Structure 1
Amino acid sequence: MYHVVIGIDDDADHALACVEEVANLPGDNSEKEVTLIHSFTDNPSGASATQIHSVREASEFLEEHGIEYDVNESSGDPAEVIIEFAEEEDADLIVTAGRKRSPAGKALFGSVTQTVILNSNRPVMVTGTTKRS
């Protein structure tokens, strides 16, 4: 079984780009196991990850393609959560979506994807976005 950890933010296009790339990985989809991770940085309403639109979209895609998955939710810094979870679970791959940001925006606000790439000792795949019409 090939275990993939996907960091899911609130953007459904990002989530779909990530799960589509996992489905495109070599091998049969029945040989893939995915953990979708959504880390709440602010959750005043007490929502669960399965209530987040992007998580639901990714889940539906994985179900339709016969890929076994589970959803993990936590709070805290998303990059740290993704890296720690992937380590604990001995994941084979981390997948995250990139986004276009200005150099100043990166310097001021950081980047989950950049932090995961620089601080993980696991392979990391960065996807673009898939725009739906």
Structure 2
Amino acid sequence: MTHIVLAVDTDEERARLSAEGVADLDWDTDTVTVSVLHVFVDNPEGASVNQIRAARRAKEALEDAGIETRLAERSGDPAAEVIDFVEDEGADAIALAGRNRTPAGKAMFGSVSQSVMLDSDVPVVFCPTTDD
């Protein structure tokens, strides 16, 4: 069984496109599972991943493609939590999409995608964020 972690934020369109990118890969849908992971940076009211529309939309897209999917959540630093989740779950790969940022924005705020790609011990699939 192949276990993929699809990391999503709150952008519904980016989550949908990422899920479709994962589904479009040449998987045997009988042997792959996907955990759609949302990391809460600040969650004082105790929200659940089930309340995140982007996560639900990604799950629906994957299930429509016949892929077994579950929702998962963590709280903390997004890059570190994605890596920790993958290690805890024994996942085989990570899928994620980046945001369009200017070079200055990347330098100032860093990039979760970049950190995950550099720190991951498993393959990372970078999903497109446009329908082109």
- TM-score, structure 2 length as denominator? 0.92
Identity %: 49
Q: Equivalent residue for 2:33?
A: 33
With 58-67 and 3-12 compared, the bigger mean Cα shift is at: 58-67
Q: Which amino acid aligns with 1:9?
A: D
Aligned equivalent of 1:121 = 121
Aligned residue for 1:61?
Answer: 61
Residue 29 of structure 1 and its aligned partner are, at CA, apart by: 1.7
Gaps of 5+ in 1: none
Q: Tell me, yes or no, if the aligned pair for 1:49 and 1:55 is still in contact at 8 Å.
A: yes
Q: Is the 2:18–2:97 Cα contact (8 Å) retained in structure 1?
A: yes
Structure 1 residues 82-133: Cα deviation after superposition (integer angstroms, max 9, x where no partner): 11111122211100102211111111111110100111111001112135xx
Cα distance in 1 for residues equivalent to 2:88 and 2:47: 25
**2-structure distance, mates of 1:8, 1:30:** 23
| Consecutive unaligned residues in structure 2, runs of 5 or more | none
Instruction: Give the whole-Å Cα distance in 1 for the aligned partners of 2:83 and 2:105.
Output: 23
Residues 1-133 of structure 1: matches in 2 within 5 Å?
Answer: 1-130=1-130
- Matches of 2:79 and 2:95, distance apart in 1: 12
**Number of aligned positions between the proteins:** 131
Give the AA of the match of 1:107.
A
Matched letter for residue 21 of structure 1: G
Give the letter for the 2:12 counterpart.
Answer: A
